[in-house]
């Protein structure tokens, strides 16, 4: 009983000491974080890289990529296989139909999204409604395809046989579209422009009940949003978040003399490195918020929640911070840190799957690619932006695991590294 009381007294005596040490450690950490922010504030170039450049790049992208509403009309040619006569199958009498192909061409001319060009071989008047009648010209489609090949147009609109007949009988009609698929980023804009003419055609001729109209393909960018901007932003956001996080942190350890502070102050090595992590995590939060805000103001289309997008970019940026501090802890000089950065960043970009599909790589490169952070950013952001998925999933957990490993390795290297006095 006496021994137990002595142990309890010892434990009770140790608890205040532990709490005192934790308070002192927390106080030192706060002072270190304050110092790191003060150093960052004096480094105007890094501050510019962290907070001004990312949203500036987004604004520049938005300014150079026109939205569909302000884009120039899309050049097109109409090829019609339709006829304006109908053979009654009961008594084999021929009757005239409303020429709905002509009415659709009128709708094309009304649309400010389409610009039907005149056939080159005809001297047509200004009020001529341009189209190729394939019933009279067997080479109509070949001519239209030549226009497409020579880049005189970007889309061919085809009115199939029986178009007017189907509509006159109260049945659904069909309009075909052949876009220039060599310009992959323009395909959805071209299809949306054709849909605009169909909407006008439906409204002018009161045909809405007889049509099932799909505005855009599943998971595609809808009308009113810039396809080019949203396509590019899904590449730019992860590269900027990850790359700038690395750039900001690859020199924060190697440019200082930690041994001087370790000898002259009671600050521990873990507190030095942890204060740097907390400082640049704070910068990452501000940077990610500014990036998302600038993207939303300039037409970012997002199906998922902003919280999911923020967490996805944050975990990607944390990987960049951890890798940057790992490189900075390992390097002996600034030149060596910069060399490590360029070598690792180029490899990460090449194996990210953004330019070369990971499935097309050799098996050993696929294994390496799936360990690297950027290979998970594309699927995760695509799921959030266009499909409304949660950030939780295979890619997030992989990024979390890689980030934790890099975090631990940076502390191990920082502890084991010997500094010259």
pLDDT at 263: 44
User: 298 versus 84: which is more confidently predicted?
Assistant: 298
Domain match, 131 and 264 both: no
pLDDT at residue 125 is higher than 50? no
234 and 340, same domain (yes or no): yes
Please check whether residues 133 and 232 belong to one and the same domain.
no
Residue 10, in any domain of the structure: no
78/55 same-domain check = no
- Across the range 31-60, mean pLDDT stands at 73
Residues 149 and 112 in one domain: yes
Choose among 407, 395, 391: nearest CA to 370. Answer: 395
User: Tokens 């890798």, residue?
Assistant: 323
The domain boundary, picked from 210, 244, 267, lies at 210
Residue with the two structure tokens 């940077």: 287
Average pLDDT of the chain, as a whole number: 75
What's the pTM?
Answer: 0.63
pLDDT tens-place string over residues 9-43? 555 555 566 556 666 666 666 776 777 777 777 76
Report how far residue 20's alpha carbon sits from residue 266's, in angstroms, rounded to the nearest whole number: 14
Task: Tell me the C-alpha to C-alpha distance, in Å, between residue 65 and each of 143, 215, 292.
Answer: 31, 22, 18
Residue 19 lies in a domain: no
Please identify, among 178, 210, 242, the residue that sits at the C-terminal boundary of a domain: 210
Please report the pLDDT score of residue 319 as a whole number.
93
Tell me, yes or no, whether 149 and 266 share the same domain. Answer: no
Q: Determine, yes or no, domain membership for 300.
A: yes
Residue 6: predicted pLDDT: 53
| The length of the chain, given as a count of residues | 421
3-state SS, one letter per residue, for 49-101 = HHHHHHHHHHHHHHHHCCCHHHCCCEEEEEEECCCCEEECCCCCCEEECCCHH
Domain's final residue, options 180, 210, 240:
210
Q: Is residue 284 part of a domain?
A: yes
One domain, residues 172 and 240: no
The predicted pLDDT at position 179 comes to 84
What's the number of domains the chain is made of?
2
Mean pLDDT check: name the lowest of 23-32, 314-323, 364-373, 384-393: 23-32
Same domain, 178 and 303: no
Question: Taking Cα atoms as reference points, which of 44, 124, 47 lies closest to residue 280?
Answer: 47
Q: What is the tens place of the pLDDT at every residue in 213-270?
A: 444 455 666 666 777 777 778 788 888 888 888 888 887 776 665 545 544 456 666 7
Give tens-digit pLDDT for 144-179.
888 888 878 888 888 888 788 777 777 777 888 888
110, pLDDT greater than 60:
yes
Residue 133: in which H helix or E strand, if any?
A: strand 132-133
pLDDT at residue 104 tops 50: yes
Say if residue 164 is in the same domain as residue 237.
no
> Is residue 90, in this structure, part of any structural domain at all?
yes
Residue 414 has pLDDT above 70, yes or no: yes
* Within a domain: 18: no
| Same structural domain, 345 and 371 | yes
Segment 198-212, tens digit of pLDDT: 888 888 887 765 444
**Is residue 2 assigned to a domain?**
no
For range 363-370, the mean pLDDT: 86
124 and 49 in a common domain: no
Please indicate, yes or no, whether residues 257 and 358 belong to a single structural domain of this protein.
yes
Residue 192 lies in a domain: yes
Residue 95 belongs to domain spanning:
72-210
Confidence of residue 315 (pLDDT cuts 50, 70, 90): very high
User: What mean pLDDT do residues 310-334 have?
Assistant: 88
Query: Given a cut of 80, is residue 69 above it in pLDDT?
Result: no
For position 121, which CATH number holds?
Answer: 3.40.1710
């Amino acid at each position: 009983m006496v021994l137990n009381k002595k142990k309890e007294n010892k434990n009770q005596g140790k608890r205040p000491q532990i709490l005192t040490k934790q308070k002192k450690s927390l106080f030192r950490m706060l002072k270190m974080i304050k110092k790191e922010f003060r150093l960052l504030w004096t480094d105007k170039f890094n501050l510019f890289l962290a907070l001004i450049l990312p949203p500036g790049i987004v604004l520049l992208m938005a300014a150079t990529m026109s939205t569909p509403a302000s884009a120039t009309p899309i050049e097109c040619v109409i090829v019609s296989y339709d006829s304006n006569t109908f053979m009654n199958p009961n008594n084999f009498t021929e009757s005239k139909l409303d020429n709905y192909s002509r009415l659709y061409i009128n709708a094309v001319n009304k649309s400010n999204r389409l610009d039907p060009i005149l056939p080159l071989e005809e001297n047509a008047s200004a009020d001529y409604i341009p189209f190729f009648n394939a019933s009279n010209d067997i080479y109509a489609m070949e001519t239209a395809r030549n226009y497409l090949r020579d880049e005189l147009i970007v889309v061919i609109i085809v009115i199939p046989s029986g178009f007017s007949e189907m509509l006159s009988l109260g049945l659904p009609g069909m309009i075909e579209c052949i876009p220039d698929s060599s310009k992959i980023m323009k395909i959805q804009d071209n299809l949306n422009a054709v849909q605009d003419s169909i909407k006008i055609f439906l409204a002018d001729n009161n045909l809405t009940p007889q049509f099932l109209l799909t505005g855009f393909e599943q998971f595609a960018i809808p009308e009113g949003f810039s396809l080019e901007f949203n396509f590019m932003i899904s590449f730019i956001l992860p590269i900027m978040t990850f790359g700038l996080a690395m750039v900001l942190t690859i020199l924060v350890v190697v440019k200082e003399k930690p041994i001087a502070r370790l000898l002259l102050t009671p600050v521990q090595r873990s507190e030095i490195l942890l204060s740097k992590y907390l400082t640049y995590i704070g910068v990452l939060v501000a940077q990610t918020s500014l990036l998302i805000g600038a993207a939303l103001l300039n037409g970012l289309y997002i199906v998922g929640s902003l919280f999911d997008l923020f967490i996805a970019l944050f975990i990607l940026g944390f990987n960049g911070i951890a890798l940057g501090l790992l490189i900075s802890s390992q390097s002996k000089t600034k030149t060596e840190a910069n060399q490590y950065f360029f070598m690792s960043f180029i490899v990460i970009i090449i194996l990210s799957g953004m330019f070369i599909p990971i499935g097309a790589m050799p098996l050993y490169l696929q294994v390496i690619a799936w360990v690297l952070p950027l290979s998970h950013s594309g699927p995760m952001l695509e799921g959030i932006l266009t499909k409304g998925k949660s950030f939780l999933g295979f890619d997030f957990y992989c990024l979390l695991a890689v980030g934790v490993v890099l975090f631990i390795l940076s502390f191990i290297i920082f502890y084991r590294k010997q500094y010259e006095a």
